[in-house]
A and B are shown apart, each in its own frame.
Chain A
């Protein structure tokens, strides 16, 4: 007879706070950060082979759903995380930039693979030499293409950012200056 195994599922831990009978008090930005980090809606901007690795990341073996990011958003307006996966040609650059501008705050950008991060082997007149020339990037994943484990690690780093940032990052001077450098309002 088989024994019933104890569930291995771990729930996200509650942030530090003061607990008593019937109440729990903590900082609101920690709660909001936890909620944001564990329910990212990624927008997959997949243009080449990195996109194939991302499909594996989404599928059952690696299962991005374990980290609360299984709901892909194909509309930038509802997405939190722009995942740029693959070669971005100069002709595609304004499209990518428009997608980024259409996303609502808070938003993060993950650049996957050598091409998105630096142009990769495509050191040529038609290819954008890294997406950070047109939009700000939070996390870079190296590799050509990176393995799904690396993608998961990148997502976890985005989660750390989401947890530790203030609720209204968009109001900070630093963030405004950063966007101004890219001529984004």
Chain B
């Protein structure tokens, strides 16, 4: 069923957006689409409003950071769900870390409000048009976006882990 879902969604997206759909493949049993950044809002709007697909629920979204992927280091993943038919798909879009801007989807899904704030907090992704883009989990005084891979995960102020057993 998932394969037919992949083909079905892919066909519709290709017909509407053409080259903007960069890839469509199965990851295990999950259809995954990679979308060009400039049309991501239109694609999600189409998937939500299309009568047959009707992805009315944003399950989750998250930021991505692949430092080796020159020119496309940052990304956002969206997971959409059609509850009546129990269809799920995943969308990804990538962009350069030098310009980490992407349109908000809070106008489509109200639940994206806090999720986008989290991605801003941890990855520094700017969601253009977000009504209240500020940190949500970390302290407001924090000066960096800690889930980006250039930052160490550990707390630098700890002195008791500097022996060879802990590898500091």
Residues in chain A within 8 A of chain B (CB atoms): 90-91, 118-119, 123-127, 129, 133
Instruction: Kindly state the separation between the CA atoms of A133 and B152 in the bound complex, as whole angstroms.
Output: 21
Q: Which residues of A contact B155 (CB under 8 A)?
A: 119, 123-125, 127, 129
User: Known: A125-B146, A126-B138. Contact between A118 and B160, CB under 8 A?
Assistant: yes
CB nearest to B152 among chain A residues: A125
Instruction: Kindly state the separation between the CA atoms of A124 and B152 in the bound complex, as whole angstroms.
Output: 8
User: Known: A90-B139, A91-B138. Contact between A125 and B160, CB under 8 A?
Assistant: no
CB nearest to A133 among chain B residues: B157
CB neighbors of A among B135-166 (8 A): 137-139, 146, 151-155, 157-158, 160-161
Q: Which residues of A contact B151 (CB under 8 A)?
A: 125
B131 to chain A: closest CB distance in Å? 23
Q: Which residues of B contact A127 (CB under 8 A)?
A: 155
Instruction: Kindly state the separation between the CA atoms of A43 and B138 in the bound complex, as whole angstroms.
Output: 26
Instruction: Kindly state the separation between the CA atoms of A127 and B156 in the bound complex, as whole angstroms.
Output: 11
Instruction: Kindly state the separation between the CA atoms of A10 and B97 in the bound complex, as whole angstroms.
Output: 69
B135 to chain A: closest CB distance in Å? 9
CB nearest to B147 among chain A residues: A125
B150 to chain A: closest CB distance in Å? 13
CB neighbors of A among B102-151 (8 A): 137-139, 146, 151
CB nearest to B158 among chain A residues: A129
Could you list 28 examples of A-B contacts with CB < 8 Å?
A90-B138, A90-B139, A91-B137, A91-B138, A91-B139, A118-B158, A118-B160, A119-B155, A119-B158, A123-B154, A123-B155, A123-B158, A123-B161, A124-B153, A124-B154, A124-B155, A125-B146, A125-B151, A125-B152, A125-B153, A125-B155, A126-B137, A126-B138, A126-B146, A127-B155, A129-B155, A129-B158, A133-B157
CB nearest to B161 among chain A residues: A123
Q: Which residues of A contact B158 (CB under 8 A)?
A: 118-119, 123, 129
Instruction: Kindly state the separation between the CA atoms of A127 and B139 in the bound complex, as whole angstroms.
Output: 11
